[in-house]
C-alpha cells in the first residue's frame, strides 16, 4: 500500500468548503440562494480558479448545492428524511440520545405516483429469495415536498397472492401487509440489505437527480414467523434525501 502522508490540517479548498457549508447549515445561505462564484472566491481567498472550483465541487458532491449551467451554484436544501429500519427497537425506548445527522420525517406526507401493478417473470435473485419464478410486482414513486425521493418495487410470489387485492392498484385498508395477514402469512421478520451506487439513467430521470448524486438501494425481504419469504421490496433512494437509522442491542 502507498504511504502518502495523511494531512492533519485540511487543504485550503476544503476549509473554504467548510466555511460555505457552515453558512448554509446556519441558515445564512438558504434554499435557492446563489453561492459566491469562482471569481468571487478567487478574489476573496487569493486562490487559483482550480482551487475555487474544487471547493465548490465538495459541496456539489455532498448534494448541498447544485450547479446550474452558465449561472452559478445554488443552495439545494432539503432536510433529509430519517427512515427507521427497526422502529420497535428504537432508541426512543431506552434513551434520549441526540443524532449525528439532523433529519426528520414527521409532518411530511409522502405523495405516491407512477403506480404500476403487473405479473412478471422474476429476476434470478428475486426468484431465488421468494422461491417463485412468477411474481406480482407493485411499482411506485414517493415524493416529499414535491421532490421525488424514492422508487419502490415490491415482488410477491404469484401463487401466494393471486386473486387478492395485492394484484389490484388499490390494496385496500392497511395495504399489502394487511392483505398478507388476510392470507394467513403476515410478515413478522425483516431483513434489509443496503448498498449504494450511482443511479441507472432511468432512476436518475425518475428521481430527478442532479449529476454526482448516488442512490441508496435497500432490498428488504419480509418473512412470516415461520420463516416463509412473502415479499421482496427493492427501494431506490435519493441519497441526498435520506438518513437510514437502525437501532439494536449489543
Minimum Å gap between C-beta 37 and a copy of itself is 21
Report residue 155 as a C-alpha cell: 415482488
Contact 10, 18 (CB under 8 A): yes
- Residue in 113, 163, 170, 184 binding a copy of itself, rule: CB under 8 A: 113
Cα–Cα distance, 79 to 230 (Å, whole number): 33
Q: Give the footprint of a copy of itself on residues 123-142 (CB under 8 A).
A: 125-126, 128-129
Give the number of C-alpha atoms closer than 13 A to the C-alpha of residue 112, restricted to the C-beta side: 9
The answer to whether the beta carbons of residues 66 and 210 sit under 8 Å apart is: yes
The site that binds a copy of itself (CB under 8 A) totals a number of residues, namely 78
Binding test (CB under 8 A) with a copy of itself, winner from 101, 106, 170, 173: 101
Q: Does 108 contact a copy of itself by CB under 8 A?
A: no
Cβ(135)–Cβ(157) below 8 Å = yes
All cell numbers assigned to 53? 472550483
Of 53-82, binders to a copy of itself (CB under 8 A) are 54, 58, 61-63, 80
Of residues 67 and 85, the one with the C-beta less far from a copy of itself: 85
All three cell numbers of 79: 432536510
Q: Is 245 in the site for a copy of itself (CB under 8 A)?
A: yes
Q: What's the CA gap between 209 and 12, in Å, rounded?
A: 29
Q: Which of residues 157-216 bind a copy of itself (CB under 8 A)?
A: 186-202, 205-206, 212, 214-216
d(CA 129, CA 220): 11
Q: Which residue in 12, 14, 105, 110 binds a copy of itself (CB under 8 A)?
A: 14
User: What minimum distance in Å lies between the beta carbon of 134 and a copy of itself?
Assistant: 17
**Which position among 33, 134, 182, 247 is part of the footprint of a copy of itself (CB under 8 A)?**
247
Amino acid at each position: 500500500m502507498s504511504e502518502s502522508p495523511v494531512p492533519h490540517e485540511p487543504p485550503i479548498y476544503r476549509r473554504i468548503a467548510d466555511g460555505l457549508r457552515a453558512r448554509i447549515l446556519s441558515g445564512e445561505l438558504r434554499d435557492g440562494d446563489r453561492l459566491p462564484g469562482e471569481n468571487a472566491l478567487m478574489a476573496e481567498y487569493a486562490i487559483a480558479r482550480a482551487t475555487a472550483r474544487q471547493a465548490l465541487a465538495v459541496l456539489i458532491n455532498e448534494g448541498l448545492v447544485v450547479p446550474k449551467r452558465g449561472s452559478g451554484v445554488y443552495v439545494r436544501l432539503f432536510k433529509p428524511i430519517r427512515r427507521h429500519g427497526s422502529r420497535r427497537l428504537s432508541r426512543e425506548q431506552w434513551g434520549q440520545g441526540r443524532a449525528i445527522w439532523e433529519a426528520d420525517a414527521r409532518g411530511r406526507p409522502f405523495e405516491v405516483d407512477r403506480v404500476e401493478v403487473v405479473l412478471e417473470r422474476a429476476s434470478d435473485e428475486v426468484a431465488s429469495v421468494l422461491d417463485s419464478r412468477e411474481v406480482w410486482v407493485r411499482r411506485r414513486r414517493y415524493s416529499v415536498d414535491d421532490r421525488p425521493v424514492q422508487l419502490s418495487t415490491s415482488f410477491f410470489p404469484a401463487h401466494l397472492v393471486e386473486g387478492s387485492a395485492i394484484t389490484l392498484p388499490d390494496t385496500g385498508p392497511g395495504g399489502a401487509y394487511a392483505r398478507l395477514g388476510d392470507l394467513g402469512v403476515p410478515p413478522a421478520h425483516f431483513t434489509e440489505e443496503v448498498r449504494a451506487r450511482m443511479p441507472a439513467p432511468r432512476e436518475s430521470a425518475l428521481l430527478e437527480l442532479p449529476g454526482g448524486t448516488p442512490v441508496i438501494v435497500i432490498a428488504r425481504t419480509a418473512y412470516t414467523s415461520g420463516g416463509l419469504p412473502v415479499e421482496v421490496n427493492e427501494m431506490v433512494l435519493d441519497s441526498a434525501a435520506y438518513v437510514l437509522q437502525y437501532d439494536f442491542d449489543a
